[in-house]
Amino acid sequence: MSIRKLAISAVLAIAVLVGLVLTLSAVVRHKPGVQTTKGIDSASISRVSSPADVRIQGAQLAIEQHPHQPESFNLLASAYMQKARETNDFGFNARAEAALGRAVEVAPDDYDALKLRAKLFLTYHRFSEALDLARRLQTVRPDDHDVYGMLTDSQVELGDYAGAIDAAQKMVDLRPDSAAYARVSYLRSLYGDTEGAIQAMTVAVKASNPNDPESIAWSRVHLGDELMNADRGAEAEREYDKALLTFPEYPLALAAKARARIRAGDQTKAVELYERAEQRTPLPDIAIALGDLYAKVGRADEAKRQYELVEFIEQNSPASGTYSRQLAMLWADHDVKLDQALTIVQRERSVRQGIFTCDALAWILLKNNRLDEAKKSIEEALRLGTRDARIFYHAGMIYEAMGDKRNASKYLRLAIATNPTFDLLQADRARQTLAAINNPLPNKRIRTA
Amino acid sequence: MTTILVSKTIRLVLFLLAAALLNCSTSLPVSAHPLGNFTINHFTRIAADQSRIRIRYVIDMAEIPAFQATQAMARNGDGSISNAALNSYLEQAALQYAAGLMVTIDGRTIPLQIVSKTLSMPQGSGGLPTLRVECDFMGETPTSADAPIRRYHFEDKNNPERIGWHEIVIVPASGLKIFDSTAFGSQVTDELKAYPQDMLTAPLDERAADFSLTAGSLPSGVVALRTRDGRPADTARDRFAELINVPVVTPFVALLGLLIAAGLGALHAFSPGHGKTVVGAYLVGSKGTARHAAFLGLTVTITHTAGVFALGMITLFASQYIVPERIFPVLSFVSGAIVLVIGLTLFIRRLRGVTGRSTGAHTHDGVHPHDDLPTHSHDHSDDTSLTHSHGGVEHSHLPPGADGSAVTWRSLLVLGISGGLLPCPSALIVLLSAIALHRVGYGLLLVVAFSAGLAATLTAIGLIFVFAGRFFKRPVGENRVLRLLPALSALVIACVGAAICYEALVQSGIHLSALIANWSTSSSETGTAPSLTSLGAFAVLGLGLVFGLKHATEVDHVVAVSTIVSEHRNLLRAAVVGGLWGLGHTISLIVVGVIVLALRIAIPVYVSSWLEFGVALMIIGLGVNALVRALRRRSDAHLHRHNHGGVLHEHLHFHEGETEHSGMDVPSHADTHAHPVSRVGFKPLLVGSMHGLAGSGALTVLVLTQIPSAMLGFFYLLVFGIGSIFGMLLMSFLVGLPFALSSRRLGTVHYGLQTIAGALSIAFGFWYAYETGIASGLLRFAL
C-alpha cells in the first residue's frame, strides 16, 4: 500500500471521525439539565432602593412629562439633596445644583427653587448667603415654616443666637413638627439645657416622617448625643442602634455609636464602626476620629494615613472648605502647621461668630502663643453656657497657660466630667494637666530633697 | 508680499499660542466621575455561552479612594509608587474582586478564575491620579447544567456600601438568546471611560442581574433582552448589520461597505454549518474539477441571495404572524435533510460500486489513463441521478460542458442549494434594516456581496480539495479498503446532514438527546440528575475522551504542532509528531494532575499565566526555527547525482534536519541514503508537555470541582490525555498533508508553505504573548 493510498484512507477516516465527534459533542452539549425557574425573581433584582432613590426616579418621570415646569426640577433637586444626606456624599449636591439651575432657567423667580437654593447654601456652609436669601423669601411668604428653619440654621452658624431663637420660636408656632423641635432641641443644648434638649429631640423623633428613615435616624443620633451629654450612655447607644436599624450603615449613626463604644472602653468595636463608616464615605471628621483611635491603640502608620487623608479630602474635594475648621483643629491638636491653621480659622471667624468658631480660634491662638486673644475668644465660646467637653478642655488649657490655676482646674474637671472620652488623645492631656495642677510637681519634691 | 505672509503666519502662531495658554488657565478641573471624588465605580459585562461565562469587570476609583488605596504603597525615590507595590495591589484586588462576584447558574455557584488583570492610574480632576483596575474573569459552565434553558444570577458584592456608578451589561454569544433579564444589553459609559455629563439623571446602581440563556428559540411569554432604550438587544455584535447603519451613503462608503460585506461573507463561511465539509468531501469523492467548484460557489451565492430575499419578503409581509426565529430551524432542517439524503444516496451507490453489484457497470478505456483497474466501472443505476464511481481512483470524466456531465451538475446544484438555503441571520437583518431605512437597493447589494464572499470561500475550499485530489490522480493499486473511500466520504456527508438536522430539531425545541438520555439514565442505575458529579464513571470517562479529542484542536496547540509538522515531508512522521505531542501533553497533565488531586491544592493563577506566556514564547521560537530552515533551503536542498543500476540520475534532494548523507559516491541509494521515518526527535514531546503544563491549571480546577473521587479524576485525566493524543495525531496528519503532498512535487511550494507556517507561527506567538503577557497585565510592571 503506497503512502498515497494511506493518505486518502486517513483523510476520509478522519473526516468520518470528525463527523462523529461533532455529532457526539452536539449530543453531549444538549443533555437535559436542571429545570430552570422561569420569570424574574423580584427579590433578587437589586438591593433595596432608598427613599431618595425612589424620589429621584419619580422626579425624573415628572421631568419627562412636564419639562417646562420648575416643580419637576425642584423635586429632583430636593431628592438629590436627600440622597446627599443619606450617603454623606457631596457629589449629589452638585446634581441638586444642576437641577436647580434648570428650574431657574424655566422660571427665574420660582419661590421653591430659591428656597432649595438657600438650603444648598447651608449645606455648602455659605451661611451669610443662605441668611440673605432666607430673609428675601421671608418677605415673600412670611408664614412659610421652612424659611424659619433656614433662618434658624444660618443665624446659629453665624452666631446670632437671639435671632435664631426668635426664628425657631416662630417655626414652632407655625407648625410644631419634627424639624422645628429638632431646632429647639439644638438651641436648648447650646444654652446648656441638656434635659430640655433631650425632651425636644424625643418629640422630634416621634414626630418624624415615617417615610423618611434618614430623618428619623438623624433625629435619633442627635437624641443619642444629648443623652451622652447627660451621661446616659446606655440609652444613647440604644438610640444609635435604632438609628442603624431604621437606616442601615448610616454614617452619622456609625460614628456616634463608635464614640459611645469608646466611652464604654470598647476600642476594638469603635475601630470597626469607624472603618465601616469610612468604607461608605471617607469624611474628614470620621477620618480624624479613626486616626486618633489608631494612634491610641498603637497603629501609628495607619493613624498617619488617616490624617493625610483628611488633608487630601479637604484640599481636593468639590466641597473643599466645608471641613477646613476640622483640618485646622487637627493641625492644632498635633502641633503642626499652626500658622496655616490660624489663617483658616481667622478667615472663618471674620464671617461667623458661632461658639464653635470662637472655640477653634481660641485653641489655635493658644497654640500660637497669643494668650490674651485666646482668652478673649474662649470667653466668647463659653458665653452661652454650652456643655461641651471640648470647649471646656480648651478653656482649661488656656487658663493653665495663663497661670490661672483655679479656672484651669475648674474647666478641665468640667471637660472630663462632661465626657471622659471627648477626644481620645486630648482627654489624656486634660487628665495629665489636671493632675499636674492639683498635685505638687514631682520634680519639686526632688529639688527639696 | 512675503513679509505680509510671514507676519500673518507669526500672528496666527501667536494667536494659537495665546489661545492655548488661555485655555490652560481658564479650564476648570472637570470631574470625570459623575458622583464626585468619593466614588468607586463598577462596570460588569457578562458574556455567557454554552460552555463558559466571561466577565469583564472594571473598577474605577475616583481621586479620594484612589488616594486611600495608594496611601500605604511603597514609594520610589522620586515619590512615585513602586511597580512592585502596584503589582501586589493588583494581585490582591483581582482576587478580592473575584471573590466578591457571585455567579450562579441554575442555583449552582460558579467559581471565577482570573483570566487577565490590569491596573492603570489615569489622571482625574485637578491632575490627581485615579485608579482603574480591569479584570477578566471566567467561569466554566458546569456540564451538568447543560440544560436547554439556564438561569443565571450575578451579584456584585464588592464595596457594598460605597457610592458609585454601578453598571451591568449582558452580551449573549452569537446564536444564543437571553431573556427575562433584569439587566440590559447595552452599555452607557464605555467601560467607565465616559460618564454621561448630564447631571440630572441618577447614576446607575445596578449591582445584581438575573437572566436566562437558551440556545434554542425563545419560550413563549418571555421578554427578550433589551437595550436601555427599550429596543431588542442584538445577539452579539453583528458587524455585518452595522454596515447598513451608516448615516450617509457616499459612493466611497458604499464601495467600502460592499467590500467589507464580501469579506465578512467569506469569513462567515468558515463558521460551522456552511457545508465546507460537504463540499470538500463531495468534490474529493466525486473527482470534481475547478469548474465544478466554481459552479458550486455560484449556486451557493444565488441560493443564498435568493433565500435572504425570499425570507426578507416573507418576514416583511408576515411579520405579524410568523416570528423569523421560527423559520430558521425549519430551513435548517430542510437543508440538513437534503445533505443527509445526498450523502445516503451517494453512500449506497458507491458501496455498490465497490462490491461490484452495480446494475449498469461497464469498463471502458482509451481516453483516460486508467491503468491496472479491474473494477473500474461506470454506475448508471438509474436515469435521474447518475453518479460516477471509480473505485476511489481520482480522474475526471467531466470535460467542461460535456454531455455526460449533466448528472454531476445536477447533484452539484442540489448540494449548492442546500449550502445556500439557510440564510445567514445577519444578512437578513441587513436587508430588513435597509428596508426600514429606505435604502433597499444598497441593502440588496450588500446581501449579494455577502453571498459572493460566502461562495468565494466555499469555492476556494472546493478548489483546494480538487487541487489536493490531483496529487492522487496517479493509478493506485487494487485495494479493497481504498475503494471503500468514496463510500466513506459519502457517509461523512450523511453524518453532517444528520448533525444539521439534529441542531435544527434542538433549535425548534425538540430534544432528541434529552429523550435518549432519559431513556439511558432510566435504564442504568446512575440516577436522573445528569451532572458530572452524578454521572456514572463510564460517562465521565467518555466525556473525557471527547473533550480530549476536542482539546487537541485548540489554536495554540495546532499552531505549534503544524510548525513542527511543516518540517517533515512524511505523513507518517507528521502523525508521529502529533502523537508525541499528545504524549508529552498527557504526561505533564497527569503529573500535575496527580499532584493536585493528591494534595487538593490549587495552582496559583500567576503560575498559569507565566506558563501561558512561556507557550507563546515557545511558539515564536518554533516559528523562527521553521522559518530559518525554510530560508536555508539552498543548503538543505540540492541537486543530487547518483547511480541507479548504472544509469546516471539527477534529482532534487531535500534533507531533514536530522538526516545526513552517508556518502555521495555510494552506488546504492536505498541502502545508505536513509531518511529515517521514526526519527522525529524529542521536540514535539517537549512542546506537548509545555502545553500540558500551561493548560493544567484550568483543567485541574474543573476536575477538582466537578469530580468527587480522586481515582476517577485521575482516570478522567488519563482518558482525556489519550483523547488528546489521538486528536493531535489526526490533526498533525491533516496538517502534514499539504506539506507531504507538496514535497513530492515542488520544492518551492513546499518551502513556501513552510515559510508561511513559520511566519504565521511567529505572528500568532507574538499575539499570544501580547494577550497572555501584556494585555493580562502579567508584564505590565515587570517591564
pLDDT in tens, A136-163: 999 999 989 899 999 999 999 999 999 9
Partner residue facing A87 (CB), from B163, B499, B516: B163
Q: How many angstroms separate the CA of residue A52 from the nearest CA in chain B?
A: 11
- Compute the distance between CA of residue A351 and CA of residue B87 in angstroms, rounded to an integer: 49
Confidence of residue A260 (pLDDT cuts 50, 70, 90): very high
* Inter-chain touch A8–B482, beta carbons under 8 Å: yes
Instruction: Indicate whether A209 pLDDT > 50.
Output: yes
Q: How many angstroms separate the CA of residue B448 from the nearest CA in chain A?
A: 31
- Please name the amino acid found at residue B377: S
Ranked by mean pLDDT, the top range of A11-25, A309-323, B48-62 is: B48-62
Partner residue facing B71 (CB), from A13, A53, A309: A309
| More confidently predicted of A383 and B328 | A383
* Inter-chain touch B143–A28, beta carbons under 8 Å: yes
* Rounded mean pLDDT, B29-57: 77
* Inter-chain touch A2–B517, beta carbons under 8 Å: no
- b/e map A400-420, b = 16+ CB within 10 Å: bbeeeeebbbebbbbbbebbe
Spatial CB neighbours of B489, under 8 Å, sequence gap ≥ 6: A12, A15, B281, B282, B284, B285, B346
What is the residue-wise DSSP string for A268-296?
HHHHHHHHHHHHH---HHHHHHHHHHHHH
Question: How distant, in Å, are the alpha carbons of A436, B616, B759 from that of B559?
Answer: 83, 10, 11
* Rounded mean pLDDT, B663-682: 43
Q: How many angstroms separate the CA of residue B473 from the nearest CA in chain A?
A: 10
Chain A residues close to B487, C-beta within 8 Å: none
Q: How many angstroms separate the CA of residue B494 from the nearest CA in chain A?
A: 9
Partner residue facing A15 (CB), from B128, B201, B281: B281
Partner residue facing B64 (CB), from A21, A92, A282: A282
* Rounded mean pLDDT, B458-484: 57
Residue A395: its pLDDT value, please? 96
- Residue from A12, A86, A273 to probe the interface with B (highest B Cβ count within 10 Å): A12
Instruction: Indicate whether B361 pLDDT > 80.
Output: no
Confidence of residue B256 (pLDDT cuts 50, 70, 90): confident
Q: How many angstroms separate the CA of residue A424 from the nearest CA in chain B?
A: 23
Residue B548: its pLDDT value, please? 67
Residue A31: its pLDDT value, please? 33
- b/e map A147-176, b = 16+ CB within 10 Å: bbbbbbbbbbbbbbbebbbebbbbbbebee
* Inter-chain touch A46–B208, beta carbons under 8 Å: yes
**Helical (H) or strand (E) element with B162:** none
Residue B782 CB neighbours (<10 A): 10
Confidence of residue A377 (pLDDT cuts 50, 70, 90): very high
Identify whether the C-beta of residue B561 lies closer than 8 Å to the C-beta of residue B753: no
| More confidently predicted of B613 and A298 | A298
* 3 state SS of B580: helix
* Inter-chain touch A34–B106, beta carbons under 8 Å: yes
* 3 state SS of B435: helix
Spatial CB neighbours of B150, under 8 Å, sequence gap ≥ 6: A33, A36, B105, B106, B141, B212, B213, B214
Residue B213: its pLDDT value, please? 86
A337 in contact with B at a CB cutoff of 8 Å? no
* Inter-chain touch A28–B546, beta carbons under 8 Å: yes
Residue B522: its pLDDT value, please? 37
* Rounded mean pLDDT, B738-756: 65
- Compute the distance between CA of residue B410 and CA of residue A272 in angstroms, rounded to an integer: 81
Whole-angstrom distance between the N-terminal and C-terminal Cα of chain B? 55
Q: Count Cβ atoms within 10 A of the Cβ of residue A286 and give its class: 0-12 exposed, 13-18 middle, 19 or more buried.
A: buried
Cβ within 8 Å of B, A 11-40: 11-40
Confidence of residue B497 (pLDDT cuts 50, 70, 90): low
Q: How many angstroms separate the CA of residue B248 from the nearest CA in chain A?
A: 31
* Rounded mean pLDDT, B336-347: 69
Question: How distant, in Å, are the alpha carbons of A57, A68, A70, A150, B377 from that of A62?
Answer: 9, 10, 10, 27, 84
- Compute the distance between CA of residue B629 and CA of residue B632 in angstroms, rounded to an integer: 5
Identify whether the C-beta of residue B613 lies closer than 8 Å to the C-beta of residue B769: yes
Confidence of residue B486 (pLDDT cuts 50, 70, 90): low
Identify whether the C-beta of residue A416 lies closer than 8 Å to the C-beta of residue A431: yes
Residue B318: its pLDDT value, please? 53
Spatial CB neighbours of A89, under 8 Å, sequence gap ≥ 6: A83, A281, B35, B36, B38, B39, B163
Partner residue facing A8 (CB), from B143, B472, B491: B472
Residue B490: its pLDDT value, please? 62
Grid coordinates given for B625: 526555527
* Rounded mean pLDDT, B523-537: 39
**Helical (H) or strand (E) element with A189:** helix A178-190
Grid coordinates given for B482: 481504498
- Compute the distance between CA of residue A49 and CA of residue A70 in angstroms, rounded to an integer: 25
Residue A399: its pLDDT value, please? 95
Whole-angstrom distance between the N-terminal and C-terminal Cα of chain A? 120
Residue B29: its pLDDT value, please? 32
| Strand positions, DSSP E, B205-295 | 208-214
Q: Which segment of A246-255, A403-412, B431-440, B516-525 scores lowest on mean pLDDT?
A: B516-525
Residue B739: its pLDDT value, please? 67
- Compute the distance between CA of residue A414 and CA of residue A241 in angstroms, rounded to an integer: 28
- Please name the amino acid found at residue B502: Y
Grid cell 444538549 in the structure block, residue: A30
Instruction: Indicate whether A354 pLDDT > 80.
Output: yes
* Rounded mean pLDDT, B514-522: 41
Q: Which residues pair with B648 in a beta bridge?
A: B643
- Please name the amino acid found at residue B77: G
State the average pLDDT for chain B.
65
pLDDT in tens, B754-776: 777 777 778 877 877 777 776 66
Residue B14: its pLDDT value, please? 40
Residue B501: its pLDDT value, please? 67
* Rounded mean pLDDT, B298-313: 74
* Inter-chain touch A5–B479, beta carbons under 8 Å: yes
**Helical (H) or strand (E) element with A304:** helix A300-316
* Rounded mean pLDDT, B687-711: 66
Instruction: Indicate whether B366 pLDDT > 50.
Output: no
Confidence of residue B289 (pLDDT cuts 50, 70, 90): low
pLDDT in tens, B259-284: 777 777 776 666 555 555 556 556 65
Grid coordinates given for B597: 488531586
- Compute the distance between CA of residue B473 and CA of residue A8 in angstroms, rounded to an integer: 11
Q: Which segment of A79-88, B87-96, B462-471, B612-621 scores lowest on mean pLDDT?
A: B462-471
* Rounded mean pLDDT, A61-72: 82
Summarize chain A as % helix, strand, coil (round to 5): 75, 0, 25
- b/e map B384-416, b = 16+ CB within 10 Å: eebbbbbbbbbbbbbeeeeeebebbbebbebbb
* Chain center to CA of B357: 44
Indicate if the alpha-carbon torsion angle B337, B343, B346, B350 is positive or negative. Answer: negative
Residue A166: its pLDDT value, please? 95
pLDDT in tens, A52-65: 888 888 888 888 78
Instruction: Indicate whether A370 pLDDT > 50.
Output: yes
Q: Which segment of A428-442, B135-149, B357-371, B492-506 scores lowest on mean pLDDT?
A: B357-371
Residue B526: its pLDDT value, please? 34
| More confidently predicted of B1 and B750 | B750
* Rounded mean pLDDT, A85-112: 84
Instruction: Indicate whether B449 pLDDT > 70.
Output: yes
Residue B718: its pLDDT value, please? 77
Confidence of residue B723 (pLDDT cuts 50, 70, 90): confident
- Compute the distance between CA of residue A146 and CA of residue A138 in angstroms, rounded to an integer: 10
Residue B24: its pLDDT value, please? 33
Instruction: Indicate whether A28 pLDDT > 80.
Output: no
Backbone dihedral angles phi then psi of residue B30, each to the nearest 5 degrees? -95, 125
- Residue from B200, B217, B570 to probe the interface with A (highest A Cβ count within 10 Å): B200
Identify whether the C-beta of residue B47 lies closer than 8 Å to the C-beta of residue B53: yes
CA-closest candidate to residue A267, choices A292, A300, A293: A293
Q: Which segment of A253-267, B204-218, B247-261 scores lowest on mean pLDDT?
A: B247-261
Grid coordinates given for A320: 473643599
Partner residue facing B495 (CB), from A3, A20, A38: A20
- Compute the distance between CA of residue A433 and CA of residue A396 in angstroms, rounded to an integer: 9
Q: How many angstroms separate the CA of residue A446 from the nearest CA in chain B?
A: 46
Residue B105 CB neighbours (<10 A): 25
pLDDT in tens, B375-394: 333 333 333 333 333 333 33
A51-65 vs A70-87: helix crossing angle, rounded to 10:
160
- What pTM was estimated for this model as a whole? 0.51
Grid coordinates given for B4: 505680509
Identify whether the C-beta of residue A215 lies closer than 8 Å to the C-beta of residue A209: yes
Confidence of residue B448 (pLDDT cuts 50, 70, 90): confident
Confidence of residue A439 (pLDDT cuts 50, 70, 90): confident
A162 in contact with B at a CB cutoff of 8 Å? no
Secondary structure in 3-state letters for B96-150? HHHHHEEEEECCEECCCEEEEEEEECCECHHHCECEEEEEEEEEECCHHHCCCEE
pLDDT in tens, B140-160: 887 765 567 888 999 999 988
| More confidently predicted of B558 and B372 | B558
pLDDT in tens, B540-595: 566 666 666 666 666 677 777 777 777 666 667 777 777 788 888 888 877 877 77
pLDDT in tens, B155-170: 999 988 777 889 999 9
Q: How many angstroms separate the CA of residue B258 from the nearest CA in chain A?
A: 34
Instruction: Indicate whether B487 pLDDT > 80.
Output: no
Identify whether the C-beta of residue B71 lies closer than 8 Å to the C-beta of residue A309: yes
Q: Which segment of A84-88, B217-221, B269-273, B309-313 scores lowest on mean pLDDT?
A: B269-273
Residue A287: its pLDDT value, please? 93
- Compute the distance between CA of residue B636 and CA of residue B649 in angstroms, rounded to an integer: 19
* Rounded mean pLDDT, A38-56: 54
ipTM of this complex > 0.90? Answer: no
Residue B171: its pLDDT value, please? 84
* Inter-chain touch B740–A12, beta carbons under 8 Å: no
Chain B residues close to A102, C-beta within 8 Å: 200
Q: Which residues pair with B44 in a beta bridge?
A: B57, B168
- b/e map A95-126, b = 16+ CB within 10 Å: bbbbbbebbbebbeebebbbbbbbbbbbbbbb
Instruction: Indicate whether B253 pLDDT > 60.
Output: yes
- Residue from B31, B35, B38 to probe the interface with A (highest A Cβ count within 10 Å): B38
Instruction: Indicate whether B410 pLDDT > 90.
Output: no
* Chain center to CA of B191: 25
Identify whether the C-beta of residue A430 lies closer than 8 Å to the C-beta of residue A411: no
A42 in contact with B at a CB cutoff of 8 Å? no
Residue A356: its pLDDT value, please? 94
Identify whether the C-beta of residue B309 lies closer than 8 Å to the C-beta of residue B460: no
* Rounded mean pLDDT, B97-101: 92
Q: Tell how many helices (H) and how many strands (E) occur in chain A.
A: 24, 0
CA-closest candidate to residue B278, choices B293, B257, B259, B260: B293
Grid coordinates given for B485: 473511500
